[in-house]
């Protein structure tokens, strides 16, 4: 009586129907596994990306405890527990809004932690199948949040485990809805369905990866709520002129001297002038002064991960003044400070209006290691979403932060990247503003005449006359790549030596960045405005995460050339690099396919890649010839159209014949590997299939042989019956068979098959 009353007083005063109460312990355990994976995935994905509390993992044992409580109390009303759950949910919501107001920015982790707290409370009241469905959805949502945060493949195993658990959960949930008996783990383990489940899992995974690669990326609405770290408050006054590069900072603990000219050594490296060694982790070019008389290499380490709608050269800093052995930012005092609103994390950056097409490209940067207070971005940045309330922009359009970019910091940039239209740039005017001429045509007087003469002599070797700055820059970049070599053991420059002069007339080569310096100065010597820009190359694209992985060794310098009314466009003269840096394209609908292929090609041996490229070249050539032939036929009018249709039909027929021949040959090759008795039986099935009498999948061999008595000729049916019985005795009884007799029976079937074909003809 008491139990009946309690059941009558369940949710909303109504009893829970017995068919809605979930009694399957296996289903409950698997659902709890999905929830656990969702909680773990958020914590794993957030490592090194954004701040999260390890206390979230405490939700795993708490939710498991709640699930066990719900199992034992599934037929009880639990009014007191429901009351405490309601109070707990209100407190969780209040804490969520308080944290959201206190830490504006990336809200994904805050939302995920709220879901985790709600799931812990919800797990103490799971009597019905519907309640388990809510838990499944929370686990799926947590996994989705983790997917948006994750930047490494560490998330992949959790995703696979979730898929492996979700498939049996869906099956068990469907069985429960049908009212079938609950399946235990022992039943599932002993059942042949487990093999089918594993096969379905593999098929789902394969199709998912294929769809992921081939899915077209169509342009759509672009959100304006970009990932940004929580706001960083700065107390000191910020003018944007200082650059804090750890490779150019003195360390008092090292006891090194640092003179007034900045010529001291930093941890034995990173000198601002004179011979020295590069810092092992920080690129020497990210500083107000770039000393190109440093030697050595950096130790590779990941600096950042970038999610971008298009690849590009991640621009960091530009230089305007050549010093003879490096570069300087002469107009550093013209840096402007920009302050954003306290209610928005968007900072609008000043840019000059330009001709030509542009495209908005959204980028999100996450720092994996500490970085100077310089903000990488694609040229030309228009909107910045950064965690500090102030940023600075210098005269070259480079962005600076009031604080160093620390590990885990995330910010976003929207750039208006110009399309590189070669025809427009060739036609650009060569009349430059006075400010451009005074700044970007500077060359030391000691080398001006000699470098100019050498540049003009090099241009005279062009097979075609060069009449515009674009083609001139392109030719000089190619000439440096082909005529000069990389020299990792290049000696230090003496105090009176000029880098460009030494490169061109003595060493005939140098370090990678030296090529860009030489190209910049050569262009300036003949009146083409140019500057040196330091940044990061495209990096390594991971097709599974969608991020570009950027290392410190990806940093180098390139040359930017100014085209009036169109802006700055880059040229890369470094051997081994493309002369045109990565840039946007008209269509990237299937850009992931291209990027995935580039990633895959890096793992394939050179002979294999050579063979694949050769085949693709032949196919492209054949397709081009076919298109030209079709265009030629169209010019003939209706006669050409009819000839084209006739040719297409003929090609289709030949392709069909080739397909049948290949299929038949493949079948024969497969049958040769079979045991003799099975080979005879399979040959018989093939011949009957050709006659329109195929064996159905639901038929046993003996049922099929019996059906042939009603549909085939009597001699054929009798021979088929002999072969089928022999096959069954061999297959299931292991009895040896008279192969000569069976071969004769097979000839009988083939004889009547041939007579039937002749009669048809």
Nearest residue to 527 (alpha-carbon basis) of 425, 430, 461, 429: 430
How far from the centroid of its chain's Cα atoms is residue 186's Cα?
41
Mean pLDDT of 79-87: 86
Which is it for strands 321-322 and 326-328: parallel, antiparallel or unpaired? antiparallel
Spatial neighbors of 562 by CB under 8 A, at least 6 apart, are 432, 436, 440, 528, 529, 530, 531, 568
Residue ranges per structural domain of the chain: 2-183, 425-538+555-600, 604-628, 674-760
Percent of the chain with pLDDT over 70: 84
| CATH code 3.30.565.10 for 425-538+555-600 | no
Distance separating the N- and C-terminal Cα atoms of the chain: 86
Kindly tell me if the per-residue pLDDT of 258 is higher than 50. Answer: no
Mean pLDDT of 407-420: 90
Kindly tell me if the per-residue pLDDT of 531 is higher than 80. Answer: yes
410 membership: H or E segment, kind and range: strand 410-418
Nearest residue to 364 (alpha-carbon basis) of 339, 384, 344, 380: 384
**380 upstream amide cis, omega within 30 of 0:** yes
Nearest residue to 131 (alpha-carbon basis) of 15, 26, 36, 32: 32
**Helix locations, 394-440, DSSP H:** 422-426, 434-440
746 and 683 in contact (C-beta within 8 Å)? yes
Tell me, what's the pLDDT at 441? Answer: 93
Tell me, what's the pLDDT at 201? Answer: 78
244 and 404 in contact (C-beta within 8 Å)? yes
CA dist list (Å): 426 to 420, 429, 435, 564: 11, 9, 22, 11
Percent of the chain with pLDDT over 90: 21
Q: What is the pLDDT of residues 496-521, one digit of tens each?
A: 899 999 999 998 889 999 999 999 99
Q: What is the largest CA-CA distance in the chain?
A: 110
β-bridge mates for residue 550, sequence order: 304
Spatial neighbors of 3 by CB under 8 A, at least 6 apart, are 75
Q: What is the pLDDT of residues 186-214, one digit of tens each?
A: 655 555 566 777 777 788 778 877 776 66
Nearest residue to 303 (alpha-carbon basis) of 405, 153, 412: 405
Positions of E strands within 508-614: 509-510, 530-536, 540-542, 547-551, 555-563, 567-571
β-bridge mates for residue 318, sequence order: 533
Nearest residue to 268 (alpha-carbon basis) of 260, 278, 259: 278
Collapsing DSSP states into helix, strand and coil, what is residue 458? helix
Length of the chain, please? 761
Collapsing DSSP states into helix, strand and coil, what is residue 548? strand
Burial 179-190 (b: 16+ CB within 10 A, else e): eeeebeeeeeee
Q: pLDDT higher for 446 or 15?
A: 446
Collapsing DSSP states into helix, strand and coil, what is residue 495? coil
Which is it for strands 294-295 and 276-277: parallel, antiparallel or unpaired? parallel
CA dist list (Å): 71 to 125, 135, 181: 9, 14, 17
Tell me, what's the pLDDT at 4? Answer: 40
Rounded CA-CA distance 386/405 in Å is 11
Mean per-residue pLDDT of the chain = 81
Lowest mean pLDDT among 285-299, 668-682, 745-759: 745-759
Tell me, what's the pLDDT at 190? Answer: 52
DSSP for residue 15: P
Nearest residue to 294 (alpha-carbon basis) of 312, 315, 274, 318: 274
Q: pLDDT higher for 19 or 58?
A: 58
Please give the model's pTM, rounded to 2 decimal places. Answer: 0.68
Q: What is the pLDDT of residues 745-758, one digit of tens each?
A: 888 877 765 555 44
């Amino acid at each position: 009586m008491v139990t009946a009353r309690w059941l009558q007083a369940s949710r909303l005063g109504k009893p829970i129907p017995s068919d809605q109460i979930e009694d399957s312990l296996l289903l409950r355990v698997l659902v709890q596994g999905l929830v656990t994976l969702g909680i773990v995935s958020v914590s794993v994905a957030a490592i090194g990306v954004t701040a999260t509390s390890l206390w979230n993992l405490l939700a795993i044992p708490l939710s498991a405890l709640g699930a066990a409580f719900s199992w034992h109390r599934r037929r009880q009303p639990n009014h007191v527990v429901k009351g405490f759950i309601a109070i707990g949910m209100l407190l969780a919501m209040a804490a969520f809004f308080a944290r959201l107001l206190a830490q504006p920015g990336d809200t994904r982790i805050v939302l995920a932690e709220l879901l985790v707290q709600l799931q812990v409370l919800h797990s103490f009241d799971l009597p019905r199948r519907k309640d388990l469905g809510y838990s499944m959805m929370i686990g799926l949502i947590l996994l989705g949040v983790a997917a948006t945060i994750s930047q490494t493949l560490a998330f992949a195993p959790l995703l696979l485990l979730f898929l492996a658990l979700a498939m049996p959960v869906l099956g068990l949930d469907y069985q429960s809805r049908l009212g079938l008996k609950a399946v235990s783990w022992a039943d599932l383990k002993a059942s042949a369905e487990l093999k089918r489940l594993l096969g379905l899992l593999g098929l789902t995974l394969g199709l998912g990866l294929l769809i992921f690669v081939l899915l077209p990326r169509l342009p759509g609405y672009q959100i304006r709520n970009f990932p940004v770290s929580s706001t960083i408050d700065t107390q000191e006054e910020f003018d944007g002129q200082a650059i804090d590069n750890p490779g150019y900072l003195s360390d008092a603990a090292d006891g090194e001297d640092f003179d007034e000219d900045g010529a001291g050594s930093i941890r034995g490296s990173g000198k601002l002038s004179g011979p020295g060694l590069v810092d092992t982790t920080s690129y020497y070019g990210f500083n107000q002064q770039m000393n190109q008389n440093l030697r050595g290499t950096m130790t590779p380490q990941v600096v950042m991960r970038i999610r971008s709608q298009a690849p590009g050269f991640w621009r960091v800093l530009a230089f305007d003044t050549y010093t003879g052995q490096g570069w300087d930012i002469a107009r550093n005092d013209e840096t402007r400070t920009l302050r954003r609103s306290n209610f928005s994390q968007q900072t609008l950056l000043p840019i000059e209006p330009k001709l030509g097409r542009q495209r908005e490209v959204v980028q999100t940067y996450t720092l994996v290691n500490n970085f100077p207070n310089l903000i990488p971005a694609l040229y030309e940045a228009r909107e910045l979403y950064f965690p500090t309330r102030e940023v600075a922009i210098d005269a070259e359009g480079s962005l600076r932060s009031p604080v160093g970019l620390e590990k885990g910091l995330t910010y976003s940039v929207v750039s208006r990247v110009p399309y590189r239209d070669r025809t427009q740039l060739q036609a650009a005017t060569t009349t430059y503003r006075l400010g451009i001429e005074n700044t970007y045509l500077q060359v030391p007087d000691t080398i001006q005449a000699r470098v100019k003469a050498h540049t003009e002599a090099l241009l005279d070797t062009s097979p075609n006359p060069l009449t515009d700055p674009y083609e001139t820059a392109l030719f000089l970049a190619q000439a440096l790549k082909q005529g000069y070599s990389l020299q990792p053991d290049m000696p230090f420059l003496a105090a009176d030596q000029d880098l460009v002069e030494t490169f061109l007339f003595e060493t005939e080569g140098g370090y990678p960045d030296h090529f860009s310096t030489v190209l910049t100065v050569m262009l300036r010597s003949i009146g083409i405005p140019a500057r040196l820009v330091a940044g990061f190359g495209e990096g390594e694209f991971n097709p599974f995460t969608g991020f570009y992985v950027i290392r410190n060794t990806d940093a180098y310098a390139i040359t930017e050339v100014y085209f009036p009314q169109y802006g700055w466009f880059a040229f890369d003269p470094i051997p081994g690099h493309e002369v045109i840096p990565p840039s946007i394209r008209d269509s990237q609908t299937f850009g992931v396919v291209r990027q995935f292929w580039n990633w895959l090609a890096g793992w394939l041996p050179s002979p294999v890649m050579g063979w694949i490229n050769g085949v693709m070249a032949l196919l492209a050539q054949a397709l081009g010839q076919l298109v030209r032939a079709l265009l030629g036929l169209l010019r003939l009018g209706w006669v050409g159209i009819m000839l084209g249709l006739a040719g297409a039909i003929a090609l289709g027929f030949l392709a069909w014949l080739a397909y049948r021949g290949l299929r038949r040959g493949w079948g024969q090759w497969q049958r040769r590997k079979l045991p003799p008795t099975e080979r005879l039986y399979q040959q018989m099935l093939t011949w009957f299939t050709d006659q329109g009498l195929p064996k159905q999948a639901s038929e046993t061999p003996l049922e099929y042989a019996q059906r042939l008595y009603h549909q085939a000729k009597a001699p054929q049916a009798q021979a088929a019956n002999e072969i089928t019985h022999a096959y069954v005795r061999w297959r299931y009884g292991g009895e040896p068979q008279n192969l000569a007799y069976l071969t004769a029976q097979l000839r009988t079937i083939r004889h009547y098959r041939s007579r039937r074909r002749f009669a048809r003809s």
